[in-house]
Amino acid sequence: MPRMPDLDKRAELLRSVVAYLQDNGVSDLSLAPMAEALGTSKRMLLYYFGDRGELLKQALDAARPDAGEMFADVTTEHEFVAAATTLWRAISRGEQRRSVTMMLQVLSLASTDADTYQQYARTGVEVMLAPITAALVALGHPRADARARATLVVSGLRGLCQDALVTGQRARIDAAADLVIAAAVAAPR
């Protein structure tokens, strides 16, 4: 009978994998150098994660902000703005800032290496869209409109994160984030 994986060790290793990818990027992901840097072996990475693709999937899942939790109890426009602002702070200056950089890499790689990265990119977008769309539907927006507004929030804030990485112009970018968030709940013209 095969030995069961140590779940605590696996969780610790996953945190290390996420940190490694945040520091080194995802484009040249190779298990042997990663294993060496993490003080483990390629064999152990495969034991805990199956293969390179599953390791990347689990690392991206673990690194992503929990939009479902942030938007779960939204019942008013004010609460939506507060949840979206919490998301913005998390991805632009909080603990999720480095994870967004990793996701930006995956999105970019999906455009040039769709076979490898497109599914990761799609999943990364969808898991953010779904709870934000649900919150907007709960506020009374028709589903198609809510999904478009959620897209504005997800893509707009992610684009502003990229702008911040490139320019560092925090005040301008924060003001733009406020506008994106306000537009998501504004009444249609």
What digits encode the pLDDT tens for the residues 120-159?
A: 888 888 989 999 999 999 999 999 999 999 999 999 999 9
The dihedral over CA atoms of 37, 29, 27, 17, expressed in degrees to the nearest 10, equals -60
In this structure, the answer to whether residues 92 and 169 fall within a common structural domain is: yes
Residue 11: inside a domain: yes
End of a domain among 62, 78, 107?
62
The number of folded domains in the chain is: 2
Q: pLDDT value at position 48? A: 87
What range defines the domain where residue 18 resides? 7-62
In this structure, the answer to whether residues 158 and 180 fall within a common structural domain is: yes
Residue 34: inside a domain: yes
In this structure, the answer to whether residues 91 and 24 fall within a common structural domain is: no
In this structure, the answer to whether residues 51 and 69 fall within a common structural domain is: no
In this structure, the answer to whether residues 95 and 180 fall within a common structural domain is: yes
| pLDDT tens-place string over residues 30-65 | 888 889 999 999 898 888 888 888 888 888 888 777
What is the mean predicted confidence (pLDDT) over 101-117? 84
